[in-house]
Amino acid sequence: MKVLVPVKRVLDPYVKVRVKQDKSGVDLSNAKMAMNPFCEIAVEQAVRLKEQGVASEVVVVSAGPQQSQETLRTGLAMGADRGVLIPTDVALEPLAIAKLLKAVVDKEDPGLVLMGKQAVDGDNNQTGQMLAALLGWAQGTFISKVELQDGAAQVTREIDGGLETLQVKLPAVLTVDLRLCEPRYASLPNIMKAKKKPIDTHSPEDLGVDVTPRLQVSRVEEPPARQAGIKVESVQELVKKLHEEAKVI
């Protein structure tokens, strides 16, 4: 079974985020970029499935600026077999990415799409669900455990109330949560091999997808600075404040 893993190039999560002076977006000039951590987890899981003999091929795909190729190479260095690059300078929205991914799924015919539950830049948490809907496939989101058997995936989902176990028919789109697995280091031999692994390039036009943004960003602002907390004298005062000021009880 072929596994397709979409990966996104994002601002390194350990870098401080700065909003551009004109408030048109986040300042990415000279910023260190990295693979979205949830995508890394998805790649790790896909490579493990291959090592277990469950997956036959792992294909990483990335849509975005030309440098997304570096993100694909990171995936290849972790053990993926080949890459698909969809270069575009358009700021892609989740629906556009989902449509691009659907076009790649149509070409590649994978048995499973494993992807991050969300990217740490926009935190949209939409692409996986939209892709499943466009494909008419089953979906399992926020998974922290997965087992594949007999044309189905047994997945554990992290939900508000705890954990939920579902049986998902394959082919399916699974979006991974933080606790699924720990991504490996790209090993030196795999880094060297990654250089020779193929990356195919398809433009959005080749794939017949219109990626024109449908949303207009009017302003991006930093979240307000956190205020210092206060000390209360008694439990009664605490309850009163929670009830009357914070309005949470």
Pick the closer one to other proteins by CB: 146 or 180: 180
Cα–Cα–Cα angle for 147, 152, 153, rounded to 5 degrees: 30
The token pair at 125 is: 């948490």
Minimal distance, residue 188 CB to other proteins, in Å: 3
Minimal distance, residue 127 CB to other proteins, in Å: 25
Pick the closer one to other proteins by CB: 161 or 189: 189
Minimal distance, residue 194 CB to other proteins, in Å: 7
Residues interacting with other proteins, by CB under 8 A? 34, 69-70, 73-74, 77, 184-192, 194-195
Pick the closer one to other proteins by CB: 72 or 180: 72
Minimal distance, residue 69 CB to other proteins, in Å: 8
Pick the closer one to other proteins by CB: 23 or 32: 32
